[in-house]
Amino acid sequence: MDFSLGEELEAVRDLAREIFTDRTSPERLRAVETSRSRVDERLWTDLADAGLIGAALPEGVGGAGLGPAGLCVLLEEQGRSVAPVPLWSTLVGALAVAAHGDARTRALLLPPLVAGTARLALALEEFGPADPLTPRTVAAPAPADAAPWRLTGHKAAVPGPTGASHVLVSADTGAGTGLFLVAADAAGVSWEHAETTDRDLSGHLTLDAAPAEAVGAPGQGTVEWAVRLARIALAALQLGVNEGALSHAADHLRERRQFGRPLATFQAVQHQLADCYIDIDALRVTMWHAVDALSDSEATEGEQESAALVANWWASEAGLTTVHRVQHLHGGIGVDTDYPVHRHFLWGRQISSTLGGARAQLSRLGDVLAEPAVAS
CATH of the domain at 93: 1.10.540.10
In a domain, 246, yes or no: yes
Q: Tell me what pLDDT residue 328 has.
A: 82
Alpha-helical (H) ranges within 256-339 are 267-295, 301-329
Residues 201 and 162 in one domain: yes
Same domain, 289 and 262: yes
Q: Are residues 163 and 146 in the same domain?
A: yes
Q: By the 8 A CB rule, do 215 and 247 touch? A: no
Q: Computed over its alpha carbons, how large is the radius of gyration of the chain?
A: 21
Q: What is the pLDDT of residue 366?
A: 93
Taking CA atoms, 115 is separated from 49, 55, 62, 88, 119, in Å, by 7, 11, 8, 17, 10
Residue 202 DSSP one-character state: E
Please give the mean pLDDT across all residues of the chain: 92
Distance CA 191, CA 169 (A): 14
- Same-domain check for residues 111 and 167: no
Number of C-alpha atoms within 13 angstroms, CB side, residue 330?
A: 24
Cβ-contact 201, 37 below 8 angstroms: yes
* 365 in the same domain as 280: yes
Residue 31 lies in a domain: yes
Query: What is the b/e burial string over 336-358, where b = at least 16 CB atoms within 10 angstroms of the residue's CB?
Result: eeebbbbbbbbbbbbbbebbbeb
Q: Examine residue 67 and state whether it is found in any structural domain, yes or no.
A: yes
Judge if 239 and 350 occupy the same domain: yes
pLDDT tens-digit map of 139-191:
999 877 667 999 999 999 999 999 999 999 999 999 999 999 999 999 999 99
pLDDT at 302 over 90: yes
Same domain, 95 and 114: yes
Q: Specify the pLDDT at position 145.
A: 65
Residue 91 has pLDDT above 80, yes or no: yes
Number of helices and strands in the chain (H, E): 11, 9
Domain assignment present for 1: no
Share of the chain above pLDDT 70, in %: 97
User: What per-residue confidence (pLDDT) applies to 68?
Assistant: 97
Give 200-245 as a DSSP string. Answer: -EEEEEEEEEEEEEEES-TTSSHHHHHHHHHHHHHHHHHHHHHHHH
Residues of the chain with pLDDT > 90: what percent?
82
For residues 224-229, give the mean pLDDT.
Answer: 97
pTM of the model: 0.94
Give the CA count within 13 Å in the CB-facing half-sphere of 197. Answer: 12
Residues 115, 134: one domain?
A: no
Same domain, 249 and 338: yes
Q: Where in the sequence is the domain holding 347, given as residue range(s)?
A: 222-375
Q: How confident is the model at residue 376 (pLDDT cuts 50, 70, 90)?
A: very low
d(CA 69, CA 71): 5
The distance of Cα 344 from the centroid of its chain, to the nearest Å, equals 15
CB half-sphere exposure, 191, CA atoms < 13 A: 23
The amino acid sitting at 261 is R
DSSP state of 60: G
Domain boundary residue, one of 215, 236, 271: 215
- Residues 67 and 179 placed together within one structural domain of the fold: no
Q: pLDDT category, 1, cuts 50, 70, 90?
A: low
Q: How confident is the model over 351-370, as a mean pLDDT?
A: 92
Looking at the fold, whether 91 and 228 belong to one and the same domain comes out as: no
Q: Which domain-ending residue is among 119, 143, 163?
A: 119
Are 108 and 236 in the same domain?
A: no
